[in-house]
C-alpha cells in the first residue's frame, strides 16, 4: 500500500485575518518555534508518507522559506518529497479566468495534474487549522480493513469550547461508524462529531469523483462529493480521541496557545512515542535570564533575553523583555522587543514588534490585544 499526502495551506486564512494578512494559515507561528503546517506534515511523515503536495493560493513566501527543501522532515528526496502546488494560471488567461480557488473542491481541481501523476494507491488530505498528533497509519489500516471508499477523521467536542463556524462540518454516523449525513455547524450546546478534515481516499476514486464534479459544476467537497455519495459509497469515520485544538479565530488561537502551558497538553502533543513534531531547525543561543528576572509557567524559546517578569506566557525566538517589565498571559512572536517598565496582559504580538518603554497594553482572554507584524508602539 502506497500513499501520497495533500495539505491545504490557505483554505482557512479568512478565519484568522490578523495573522494571515502577510502569510498563509499554514505558516502561522505556534508554540515558541513551530508553524501550523508542522503538525499535519509531521503526522504524514511519522506515518511513512514521503510524498506530500502542499496546495498554495497566495501569500506563501513565508511558507516557502519555512519548508525549504523539506530536509527537516526528511523530505528532501529525488523521488517523492515535498511538492509546492501553486495555482496554475497561463499568460493568456483574462481577469475573469484568473479567479483562484475558494473551496476545497476547487483547490483539488486545480491540482489535478499532481493527482494524476501520483502512482500511489491512496491520497491522504489534511488542513492546517487543526493541531493534533494523529496516527495516520492507523487511519489507513482501518480504512483498508473496513473496505471503505472514503474515511474521514472526526473528533467529539463540546462546541462552547471552540470557535466553530458554519464552515465546520458536523458528521452524523450510525453505531457502525458509517456516515449518514453531513451538515454545517449551527449553534448547539450538545456534543457533536466535527470533521478534522483528515480524509483518506483511493487515488483513482478521487480522480473520478473530481472529474464528475467538474463536469457538473460542483464546488463543495463535502456537500457535492461526500454528501451525494452517502449510501452509494462506503464512507466511514475514524474517531480520534487524542489531543485536539482548532484555530478558528484569534481567540481560539490564543486559547490553543495557552493550553500548551499545561503539562498534560504538551505531553499529549509532543511526547508521543515515535511521533515527534518536526520543524525548521535554527541554530540560536540559549535564552538568557538576567539577575532579577523571574519567569513562571511560561514557554521561552532560544535566543530570548529576559530582564523583567514573565508569567503564563509564550515567547518565541529572539524576544527581549526589559527591566521592570511585567508580561502576563501573552504571546510574543519572534524578535519582539519589549522595553523597560512595560505592562502587558493578554497581548499577541506578531514578529518584529517594538513596544517602547513605559507602555501598558491589556486585552482579555475573549479578545486579546493584537499587534501586527513590524508595529512600533
Q: pLDDT tens for residues 41-95?
A: 999 999 999 999 999 988 889 999 999 989 999 999 888 899 999 876 555 554 4
Q: Tell me what percent of the residues of the chain surpass a pLDDT of 90.
A: 71
CA angle 355, 358, 362 (to 5 degrees): 70
Who wins on pLDDT, 250 or 183?
250
Q: Which residues contact 211 (CB under 8 A, 6 or more apart)?
A: none
Task: Give the relative orientation of helices 38-46 and 136-145 as an angle to the nearest 10 degrees.
Answer: 60
More confident residue, 120 or 188: 120
Give residue 170's pLDDT band: very low, low, confident or very high (50, 70, 90). confident
Per-residue confidence at 123, pLDDT binned at 50, 70, 90?
very high
- Torsion angles phi and psi, residue 127, rounded to 5: -105, 180
Q: Decide if 155 contacts 240 (C-beta within 8 A).
A: yes
Which set of grid coordinates corresponds to residue 300?
Answer: 521561552
Backbone CA torsion sign across 206, 210, 216, 218: positive
- Give the residue, 282 or 342, on which the prediction is more confident: 342
Q: Global pTM? A: 0.92
Give me the helices (H) in 260-304, please.
263-270
Confidence of residue 331 (pLDDT cuts 50, 70, 90): very high
pLDDT for res 175: 84
State mean pLDDT over 107-134. 92
Q: What is the pLDDT of residues 135-148, one digit of tens each?
A: 999 999 999 999 99
Residue 182: its pLDDT value, please?
Answer: 87
In the prediction, which pLDDT does 358 show? 95
Q: In which residue are the cell numbers 498563509 written? A: 24
Q: Is the separation of the CB atoms in 148 and 236 below 8 Å?
A: yes
- Cα separation, 288 vs 320, whole angstroms: 10
Calculate ∠ Cα 136-8-353, nearest 5°: 110
> Exposed, middle or buried: residue 114 (CB in 10 Å: 0-12, 13-18, 19+)?
middle
**Lowest pLDDT segment from 34-43, 181-190, 303-312, 350-359:** 181-190
Residue 61: CB atoms within 10 A of its CB come to: 12
Q: What is the pLDDT of residues 228-242, one digit of tens each?
A: 999 899 999 999 999
Q: What is the pLDDT, as a whole number, of residue 165? A: 67
The CA distance from 128 to 113, in Å, is 22
Q: Which residues pair with 54 in a beta bridge?
A: 7, 84
- State residue 166's pLDDT score: 65
Mean pLDDT of 4-10: 94
Kind and range of the H or E run holding 338:
strand 337-338
pLDDT at residue 27 greater than cutoff 90: yes
How many other C-beta atoms lie within 10 A of the C-beta of residue 323?
14
Strands ordered across the beta sheet of 314-315: 299-300, 314-315, 331-332, 347-349, 369-371
Q: Hey, what's the cell of 353?
A: 514588534
Residue 14 · residue 134 · CB < 8 Å: no
**pLDDT above 70 coverage of the chain, percent:** 95
If you ran DSSP here, which 8-state letter would residue 318 be given?
T
**Residue 259: strand, helix, or coil:** helix
- Please, is 147 exposed, middle or buried when counting C-beta atoms within 10 Å of its C-beta (0-12, 13-18, 19+)? exposed
Where are the alpha helices (H) located in the chain, listed in sequence order? 38-46, 61-67, 104-110, 112-117, 136-145, 203-216, 250-259, 263-270
Q: Rounded to an integer, what distance in angstroms lies between the CA atom of residue 58 and that of residue 214?
A: 23
8 Å CB contact between 154 and 237: yes
pLDDT of residue 163: 66
Largest Cα–Cα distance of the chain, in whole Å?
69
Q: What is the pLDDT of residues 171-226, one digit of tens each?
A: 888 888 889 988 877 776 678 889 999 999 999 999 999 999 999 988 889 999 99
* Mean of all residue pLDDT scores within the chain: 90
Q: What is d(CA 350, CA 359) in angstroms, rounded to the nearest whole number?
A: 17
Residue 88: its pLDDT value, please? Answer: 65
Hey, is 197 helix, strand or coil? strand
Distances in Å between the Cα of 203 and the Cα atoms of 29, 77, 107, 278 are 32, 22, 16, 27
pLDDT value of position 264: 94
167 pLDDT tier (thresholds 50, 70, 90): confident
pLDDT grade, residue 97 (50/70/90)? very low
Amino acid at each position: 500500500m502506497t500513499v501520497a499526502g495533500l495539505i491545504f495551506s490557505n483554505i482557512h486564512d479568512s478565519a484568522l485575518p490578523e495573522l494571515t494578512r502577510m502569510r498563509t494559515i499554514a505558516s502561522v507561528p505556534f508554540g515558541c518555534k513551530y508553524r501550523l503546517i508542522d503538525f499535519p506534515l509531521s503526522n504524514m511523515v511519522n506515518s511513512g508518507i514521503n510524498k506530500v503536495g502542499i496546495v498554495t493560493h497566495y501569500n506563501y513566501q513565508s511558507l516557502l522559506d519555512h519548508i525549504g527543501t523539506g530536509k527537516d522532515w526528511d523530505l528532501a528526496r529525488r523521488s517523492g518529497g515535498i511538492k509546492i502546488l501553486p495555482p496554475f494560471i497561463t499568460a493568456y488567461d483574462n481577469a475573469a479566468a484568473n479567479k483562484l480557488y475558494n473551496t476545497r473542491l476547487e483547490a483539488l481541481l486545480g491540482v489535478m495534474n499532481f493527482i494524476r501523476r501520483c502512482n500511489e494507491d491512496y491520497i491522504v488530505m489534511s488542513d492546517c487549522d487543526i493541531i493534533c498528533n494523529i496516527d495516520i497509519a492507523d487511519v489507513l489500516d482501518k480504512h483498508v480493513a473496513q473496505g471503505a471508499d472514503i474515511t474521514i477523521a472526526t473528533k467529539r467536542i463540546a462546541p462552547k469550547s471552540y470557535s466553530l463556524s458554519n464552515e465546520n462540518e458536523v458528521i452524523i454516523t450510525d453505531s457502525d461508524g458509517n456516515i449518514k449525513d453531513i451538515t454545517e455547524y449551527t449553534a448547539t450546546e450538545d456534543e457533536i462529531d466535527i470533521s478534522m478534515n483528515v480524509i483518506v481516499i483511493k487515488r483513482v476514486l478521487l480522480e473520478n469523483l473530481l472529474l464528475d464534479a467538474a463536469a457538473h459544476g460542483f464546488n463543495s467537497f463535502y456537500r457535492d462529493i461526500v454528501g451525494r455519495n452517502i449510501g452509494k459509497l462506503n464512507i466511514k469515520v475514524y474517531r480520534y480521541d487524542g489531543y485536539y485544538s482548532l484555530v478558528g479565530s484569534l481567540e481560539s488561537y490564543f486559547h490553543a496557545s495557552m493550553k500548551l502551558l499545561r503539562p498534560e497538553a504538551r505531553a499529549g502533543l509532543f511526547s508521543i512515542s515515535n511521533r515527534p513534531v518536526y520543524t525548521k531547525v535554527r541554530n540560536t543561543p540559549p535564552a538568557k535570564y538576567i539577575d532579577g528576572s523571574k519567569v513562571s509557567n511560561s514557554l521561552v524559546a532560544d535566543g530570548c533575553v529576559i530582564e523583567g517578569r514573565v508569567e503564563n506566557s509564550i515567547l518565541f525566538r529572539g524576544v527581549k523583555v526589559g527591566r521592570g517589565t511585567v508580561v502576563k498571559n501573552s504571546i510574543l512572536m519572534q524578535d519582539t522587543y519589549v522595553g523597560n517598565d512595560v505592562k502587558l496582559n493578554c497581548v499577541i504580538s506578531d514578529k518584529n514588534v517594538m513596544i517602547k518603554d513605559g507602555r501598558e497594553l491589556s486585552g482579555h482572554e475573549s479578545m486579546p490585544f493584537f499587534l501586527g507584524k513590524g508595529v512600533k508602539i
